Amino acid sequence: MTLALAVAVAALALLPLGHIAWYTVDLGWDGVRELVLRPRVGELLWNTTRLVVGTVVCCAVLGLGAAWLVERSSLPGRRIWHVLLVAPLAVPAFVNSYAWISLLPGLDTYAGALLVVTLSYFPFVYLPLAAAFRGLDPALEDTARGLGLSTWAVFLRVQLPQLRVALLGGSLLVSLHLLAEFGALQMLRYPTFTTAIYDQYRATFNGPGATMLAGVLVLLCLVLLLAEIRLRGRRGYARNGRGAPRPVRPVGLRGLTAPVLLGLGVLVVLALGVPLASLGYWMARGAGADLDWHDLAATTGTTLALAAAAAVLTTAMALPTGWLAVRARGRVATLLERSTYLGSSVPGIVVALALVTLSIRVTPWLYQTVPVLLAAYAIMFLPRAIVTVRSAVEQAPPLYDDVAASLGSSAPDRLRRVTLPLLAPGIGAGAALVFLAVVTELTATLLLAPTGTTTLATAFWSASSSLEYGAAAPYALVMVLLSAPATVLLSRDVHRGVTT
Amino acid sequence: MSSLTVTALTKAFGVTPVLGGVDLHVPAGSFTALLGPSGCGKTTLLRIIAGFDDPDSGTVTIGDRVVAEGTGRGVPARRRGVGFVPQEAGLFPHLSVAGNISFGLPRRQRRDGGRVRGLLELVGLDVALAERSPHQLSGGQQQRVALARALAPAPSLVLLDEPFSSLDAALREETRAAVSAALDAAGATAVLVTHDQAEALSMADQVAVLRSGRLVQLTDPQTLYRNPQDLDVAMFVGEAVVLDADLRDGTAQCALGAVPVDGAHPDGPARLLLRPEQLRLSPAGSVRDAVVAAVDGVDFFGHDARARLTLPGGVTVSARLDGNELPSAGAYVGVTVRGAARAFPVGAAHAPVPLQPSA
């Protein structure tokens, strides 16, 4: 029963991938060659690749430096800096992009795109690295210093090798997010595969063209996933360490304290200050004009309802997979869990495209309805729910069930008094993460939302696309406010930040 | 309280047989230890008695009620009235100590603070712990709460699955004593699974030795130590001195000279069992008939010590000494035997799967 449900969930998650594969085979080699081997695709590939490489390098440098400063140096106010360095995650990348381009219209270049996405994504590298630094045993560093190594040599020869897994994981996360990013880059008029797929879909409703671009995009994702697995090697996950047994003796910054503080300050101002100031500016400009409170409230209501429904659905779907992954360990459970993750690593635009095509062809009565939109959310955000449900099931070993049974408790009674109370925090956290992800979801919602259904993200998008920056600001502000709790969650529980 | 009877119980996981026809009787109100090395099937036996697993064949009877018979589904665990204390205590992390202890009580009695207090006192814990969370307790306290939880619904039988193995040495002694006292006071029939022979010998009324899924010996601790079924059991329940000997008229000729033998045994070659505390050391040459041995080394434990000796002919043995006057390594000492030895046939000296004495 549980197995059947988990298989169904995995099948749904693999639906977009399967659709692309089937479509490609159906098209045949000639069709693929005609659609893929053309200058436009090469141009997109070049654009996408240089942006991914540039962003990963920038994020790695910023994330590594900031994590070292916060976790291992004598930086004043380290806890505050930690929160400030995670906080940019509360600003969706497309809102950040809007904030910058509305102030500086000249940012529609490679450099502008690099700046904006780096500022949005560097916390994805910072978070796992900060956690990894915390997990490192300071005794190793002391030993290395005792062997005569300088601070710099300790970093290069002792710390960096142990941080490899976290650094790779964070970089993979940045790359996958960037491949899926639509709103931020569309607003900066920087064409990548994702924006090209969207344009093609909007302009011509061109099925084969858009689908083949999606196929190339999916290939890029798979290549990245494989590369990360290969590079990570067989080493264990250092970031799962239980924290240092002894307090760390921070490295003194001495004369460098002032420049370092200035540098971090500039980073936080750029990543957090500029978007918030820009939002404030447009709020002030637009508020006098025509802020429609009724519209804003209605849109917020729709968004919250959709997010709540998606959170419940996705968490319920995650239960069988998460349960089996712990209670029935083995090849089948691992295969199901992995295929769900694989299916969900596909960019939102591809998921949306696949569901549009499939629903038109197979189930026309479902096209542009809420169930299809919820299915897309579920496919995209399943890993968030599975990871939390899984760790909750790990906290509830079958032993508790046996003990409760020996104390005379019946199966429904055990579910009510033992299993559910133990799983509740994990299920709740998973649902909250999905909820918050849906609140700021743009790409799939644009393609799949029923006519007349607007969410905060799509309302913001239509206003800012027609350059009504003032009208867009309130929607952005509500999204930022709703995302703030997720940021708190992430800055506390660093492991969860690594999973999507 | 009830007695427990297990008859011809078998269980296999896939093609691996775990229990090969176990018979066991535990009298009402007694404390029985199931002793065996890891992988001998003792935990499986316990889980079948508790009702967590079903046997392939055989019966389990608690009191005069058959709870498992043959392959069919037996009485479910929750209707057996069997208390269970798992290895790591297994306290419900989302409930307080009081919530854990009262878990198995009927709904109306759960609010009764007096019951919880009484049970906490029974296991020797401060009643102020009632509102604590399990993670705020030490390992020993957790085990005692787990016992109180198991005893709360007044079970007919209590099963303890290696409850002391995760505790450190000092805490283990103290917790064992508290658990023994609580079980005595509750008058419960108890079965303890353990791989620690000292624990089995010191706590139980009777010890059941399990080896490769079969019951080898079921007897009281003193008989088990002094009169083990075979040499493997002998070496598993304590340190042993084993020597080749030639038996004639109740006396064995061996590397330690002529040693009297207990029990009837045919004349001829045999394997001789002595305990290290039966060997007496004296200054070389001071006692007539003493065998002269070389001291290889001395392990000092404080309350006593062990000397490792090489006998003439190259056989090495251990002797247990009180810690007062210790020979030094390299010296020569005289060795005499106190009491009688047990003799075992030569051929059957070792079972196919030997027991590994645990540290």
Which range, of A242-251, A292-301, A416-425, B294-303, averages the lowest pLDDT? A242-251
What separation, in Å, do the N-terminal and C-terminal C-alpha atoms of chain A show?
28
- When pLDDT is averaged across residues A492-498 and rounded to a whole number, the result is 46
ipTM topping 0.85: no
A466 at B interface, C-beta within 8 A: no
Q: Half-sphere exposure of B16 toward its Cβ, with a 13 Å CA cutoff?
A: 7
**By CA distance, what is A424's nearest residue in B?**
B94
Local confidence band at A284 (pLDDT 50, 70, 90 cut-offs): confident
Rounded CA separation A316/A2 (Å): 12
Cβ-proximal residues to A398 (8 Å cutoff; 6+ apart), any chain: A327
A399 at B interface, C-beta within 8 A: yes
DSSP A415: I
Whether residue A493 is predicted with pLDDT greater than 80 in this model: the reply is no
Instruction: Give me the total of CB pairs closer than 8 Å, taking one residue from chain A and one from chain B.
Output: 57
Backbone angles phi, psi at A484, to 5 degrees: -55, -40
Helix, strand, or coil (residue B214)? strand
Q: How far is it between the farthest Cα atoms of chain B?
A: 77
Instruction: Classify the phi-psi angles of A24: left when phi > 0, otherwise alpha if psi is within -120 to 50, otherwise beta.
Output: alpha
Number of H helices, E strands in chain B: 8, 20
Question: Per-residue pLDDT tens for A75-93?
Answer: 888 888 998 998 898 899 9
A408 and B94 within 8 Å at the Cβ level: the answer is: no
More confident residue, B63 or A246: B63
Rounded CA separation A213/A24 (Å): 11
- B94 closest CB neighbour out of A399, A409, A421: A421
pLDDT of residue B40: 86
Structure tokens at A415: 């579910």
Whether residue B194 is predicted with pLDDT greater than 80 in this model: the reply is yes
A406 and B90 within 8 Å at the Cβ level: the answer is: no
Global pTM value:
0.76
Mean pLDDT of chain A: 85
Rounded CA separation A375/A355 (Å): 9
Helix, strand, or coil (residue B55)? coil
A408 and B84 within 8 Å at the Cβ level: the answer is: no
pLDDT of residue A144: 83
B17 at A interface, C-beta within 8 A: no
Structure tokens at B169: 């040495």
Question: Per-residue pLDDT tens for B120-152?
Answer: 998 889 999 999 999 899 888 999 999 999 999
Helices marked H in A288-369: 293-327, 331-344, 348-361
- B86 closest CB neighbour out of A395, A403, A407: A403
pLDDT of residue B352: 43
- When pLDDT is averaged across residues B83-99 and rounded to a whole number, the result is 91
B86 at A interface, C-beta within 8 A: yes
Question: Per-residue pLDDT tens for A203-218?
Answer: 776 577 888 888 888 8
A421 and B149 within 8 Å at the Cβ level: the answer is: no
Residues in B closer than 8 angstroms to A399, CB to CB, are: 86, 88, 90
Inter-axis angle of helices A78-86 and A39-72, nearest 10: 160
pLDDT of residue B45: 93
A312 at B interface, C-beta within 8 A: no
A394 at B interface, C-beta within 8 A: no
Backbone angles phi, psi at A434, to 5 degrees: -65, -45
Instruction: Classify the phi-psi angles of B8: left when phi > 0, otherwise alpha if psi is within -120 to 50, otherwise beta.
Output: left
Which of the listed ranges A236-240, A389-393, A399-403 does the model predict with the highest average pLDDT? A399-403
pLDDT of residue A208: 79
Cβ-proximal residues to A182 (8 Å cutoff; 6+ apart), any chain: A94, A194, A195, A198, A348, A349, A442, A443
- A410 closest CB neighbour out of B78, B93, B149: B78
Structure tokens at B232: 């493997």
Distances from the Cα of A338 to the Cα of A5, A220, A332, A383, A393, angstroms = 15, 18, 10, 10, 17
Residues 218-237 of A with CB under 8 A from B: none
A403 at B interface, C-beta within 8 A: yes
Question: Per-residue pLDDT tens for A107-146?
Answer: 889 999 999 999 999 998 998 888 888 877 777 878 888 8
Structure tokens at B163: 């409850």
Q: Where do we find the tokens 């910058």? A: A100
Rounded CA separation A403/B115 (Å): 20
Q: How far is it between the farthest Cα atoms of chain A?
A: 72
- B77 closest CB neighbour out of A399, A406, A422: A406
B153 at A interface, C-beta within 8 A: yes
Q: How long is chain A?
A: 500
- B92 closest CB neighbour out of A405, A406, A418: A418
pLDDT of residue A236: 44
Is A115 in contact with A59 (CB distance < 8 Å)?
Answer: no
Whether residue A355 is predicted with pLDDT greater than 60 in this model: the reply is yes
B86 and A405 within 8 Å at the Cβ level: the answer is: no
A369 at B interface, C-beta within 8 A: no
Rounded CA separation B204/B192 (Å): 8
Residues in A closer than 8 angstroms to B150, CB to CB, are: 406-407
A420 at B interface, C-beta within 8 A: no
Local confidence band at A491 (pLDDT 50, 70, 90 cut-offs): confident
A405 and B78 within 8 Å at the Cβ level: the answer is: yes
pLDDT of residue A205: 66
Rounded CA separation B128/B116 (Å): 11
Residues in B closer than 8 angstroms to A403, CB to CB, are: 84, 86, 90, 92, 149
Residues in A closer than 8 angstroms to B84, CB to CB, are: 402-403, 406
Q: Taken in order A40, A45, A50, A55, is the CA torsion positive or negative?
A: positive
pLDDT of residue A237: 41
pLDDT of residue A138: 77
Helices marked H in A147-247: 151-154, 160-180, 183-187, 193-204, 207-232
Residues in A closer than 8 angstroms to B79, CB to CB, are: 408
pLDDT of residue B19: 92
Inter-axis angle of helices A110-135 and A78-86, nearest 10: 130
Q: Where do we find the tokens 């970093």? A: A155
Structure tokens at B15: 């093609």
Question: Per-residue pLDDT tens for B147-181?
Answer: 999 999 989 899 999 988 888 888 888 889 888 88
